[in-house]
Amino acid sequence: MKVLDSVRVLEIGGIGPGPFCAMHLADLGADVVSIVRPEAQPAGAATVLSRGKRSVFADLKSPEGRELVLALVRDADALIEGLRPGTMERLGLGPDSCLALNPRLVYGRMTGWGQDGPLAHSAGHDNNYAAVSGALWGSSPADTRPVSPFATLGDIGGGAMYLMTGLLAGIVQARATGRGTVVDAAIVDGAAHMLNLMLHARQRGLVADERGASIHDSAPFYETYACADGTFITLGAIEPPFHALLLHKLGLADAPAFQGAQWDRSAWPARRGQLQALFASQPRAHWQHLLEGTDACFGAVLSPVQAARHPHMQARGVYLEPDGDALQAAPAPRFDGQAYAPGPASHAGADTADVLDKVRSGCAQQVWRGVR
């Protein structure tokens, strides 16, 4: 049994955060049926984001496609859609239509700009949403352009994770009260909400209102450094004991540039310059041997393929290549000390015949395998 074995999710296939959220729910045991357009995903295609799901081809613009969705809605706990505001309503599949059939349904809407506001109907992508929400502002040093984080700050951080939170909270409410809800998960909302930690730091004077004057983009002890072999390492020695240990390990405890207060911003440029020269004198492996596993708050910058080979990541089984498939990360988080195994990646449309047969025979409830 997995923690979400009793949860049934109908996904209206899309791109980015919606499919990621549905995959995450499937990782944790939810029964996910994904409705995809044949032209949007070639038959037979299977990707990491389709793991643990069942895939059904349907044209939502046709009466048959609409009736299929509504038949599955009747016994679903949640629905995920990521179309532009108003699109599902025009298809006859909006919240009013679905909640009329299933008042317990949690209707999850994933967009970049939200269901309303001046930009609601505009196209956009991860970097646009992160930029307007304020989340992209401090993503790089002040003397370089802000660069979108590789881990999709907006789509996953501000989008999929907040959609999942809203869906699970709605399901808790529905099971307690019998009343469903509509979740408006906008990436700009979630990305802004994630900034509350940095806004807290701003109140404490650790984050400034201009780039290049805050701990995350100017402190020499919280920085990324280049090594002699062209690779990179990170330092995060914020707390005084960790900072002192770092200087001791590097042989800099008595260096003139590092005398005085750790938070003396006027000394930061000289200290950063000395650290840059030091780290550039040796390859990354040297610094890993010296600092990794200590309280100096050190981490080597690794590609996903390199990370999969790191002893710590291997010991925890963080990355997988199931049955020779492409590299993917294991389900997270863990429960009772155990990581769940991911479900197999579904081939696009592979479950169409089975699901349609059940729906056409009046047994749509039998589509769902979740235990209640």
- Catalytic sites, residue numbers: 125, 155
> Is 324 exposed, middle or buried (CB count within 10 Å of its CB: 0-12, 13-18, 19+)?
exposed
Buried b (16+ CB within 10 A) or exposed e, 91-111: bbbbbebbbeebebbbbbbbb
Q: Measured between alpha carbons, how far apart are the two ends of the chain, in Å?
A: 12
Which residues does 236 contact at the CB level (< 8 Å), separation at least 6?
221, 222, 297, 298, 299
Type of residue numbered 274: Q
ω into 333 cis (within 30 of 0)? yes
DSSP state of 100: H
Which residues does 95 contact at the CB level (< 8 Å), separation at least 6?
88, 107, 109, 182
Q: Which residue has the tokens 């062209």?
A: 230
Give how far the C-alpha of residue 196 lies from the chain's centroid of Cα atoms, to the nearest Å.
Answer: 17
Type of residue numbered 209: D
Strand-pair category, 232-236 with 298-300: antiparallel
- Residue 249, CA distances (Å) to 29, 122, 303 in order: 45, 52, 26
CB 8 within 8 A of CB 368: yes
* SS3 letters across 147-185: CCCCCCHHHHHHHHHHHHHHHHHHHHHHHHHCCCEEEEE
